[in-house]
Amino acid sequence: MSESSGGCMALRHTPHHFRASPVGAIPFSPHATCHTDATPPSHHTLAIFFFRPHAHYDHGKEHDFTHRIFVRAQFDYDPLDDDLIPCAQAGIAFKTGDILQIISKDDHNWWQARKDNAAGSAGLIPSPELQEWRTACLAMEKSKQEQVNCSIFGRKKKQYKDKYLAKHNAVFDQLDLVTYEEVVKLPLFQRKTLVLLGAHGVGRRHIKNTLIAKNPDKYAYPIPHTTRPPRSDEENGRNYYFVSHDEMMADIAANEYLEYGTHEDAMYGTKLETIRKIHQDGRMAILDVEPQALKVLRTAEFAPYVVFIAAPVLQNLADYDGSLERLAKESDLLRQAYGHFFDLTIVNNDIEETIASLEQAIDRVHTTPQWIPVSWVY
């Protein structure tokens, strides 16, 4: 490996079917077998790669200096910890949520990018395909290791011992492979929905009710539908919409519900139409939902501002009782699985301070430029 005049040259052994790339490709194929060391297989053909720190994104056949592509990173990355990068000094480190400007996607495995508003040259970042391959291999290796451990101890594998993890297993699997999300910066963008995520018992319901009570003309909560018979003092459409079981099942089959569940032999659910009605009234819908609802909500129609209410910090031994430990554990699981979707994280050490911080953040988001997913705009 050598460095000279802003360039970084790496010598690598590559398979015969890989071509030399101007950015610094590694011997990698998405169809290759995952080895135990999570490194791509290689043969013995020598290739030389050269990193051009000032190269521009190749848009079509000619360079387009007016077209700029930005992405939001959905994982943490440090080139110094990456055994696959051809030249660690040529890479750039970033955290989840950082905005990166893509300079070149010429290479299949290594893109060139720079951090938004960061001075200096561009650097290498793993391409989405490479990162997905890496993540898939690590997951496969972890699964194999768990099977080995279980066989060693001679007992049946305990799948999803944590009830919370079991509940969201399908969602974790589907949202595992995250890399980058293309975004665009807009001077003003109206967020239509406030989504409060957090572990059960962290205080989301109190926060929601307080915001609505203080600003009923600004916020509203979608009235749920239920198959429970109405009580004598209940009015349809006030606290609940009362529907038949057959009607609710038909609407569920038609994908008209954001989420639903069963409690004491009755079904309850949040219908998408009730959220749309709040938007039509010019108010912001507040939802304290399960994280899998993001698959439906993260669209231009609902334009959510996703706020994670994190569990309080455990500061002394008295805090380490069963309920607080469970709260902290569930909070960590949520952050690990969905942190790349959070627009804001607030640690709920004091409920009143949390509400005040949230109100200030919402005011800012309605008056300052924002990075928005491109799919919400075009």
Residue 309, pLDDT above cutoff 90: yes
Q: What is the pLDDT of residue 167?
A: 42
Q: What is the pLDDT of residue 177?
A: 72
141 pLDDT band, cuts 50/70/90, is confident
Q: For 23-35, what is each residue's pLDDT tens digit?
A: 444 444 444 344 4
Domain with CATH 2.30.30.40 in the chain: 2-131
Q: For 66-87, what is each residue's pLDDT tens digit?
A: 468 999 999 999 999 999 999 9
Q: What is the mean pLDDT of the chain?
A: 80
State the pairing for strand pair 7-14/2-4: antiparallel
Domain with CATH 3.40.50.300 in the chain: 191-218+283-378
- Provide the CATH number for the domain formed by 221-282 in this structure: 3.30.63.10
Give bridge partners of residue 73 from the DSSP assignment: 180
Domain with CATH 3.30.63.10 in the chain: 221-282
Q: What is the pLDDT of residue 90?
A: 95
Residue 288, pLDDT above cutoff 60: yes
> How confident is the model over 269-284, as a mean pLDDT?
98
Q: For 145-198, what is each residue's pLDDT tens digit?
A: 666 655 554 544 344 334 344 444 444 444 457 899 999 999 999 999 999 999
Topology given in CATH for the domain delimited by 2-131: SH3 type barrels. (2.30.30)
What are the two backbone dihedrals, phi and then psi, of residue 263, each rounded to the nearest 5 degrees?
A: -145, 120
CB 27 within 8 A of CB 13: yes
- Provide the CATH number for the domain formed by 191-218+283-378 in this structure: 3.40.50.300
Q: What is the pLDDT of residue 378?
A: 85
Residues 6+ apart with CB under 8 A from 219: 194, 211, 212, 283, 284, 285, 286
Q: What is the pLDDT of residue 121?
A: 79
Residue 320, pLDDT above cutoff 90: no
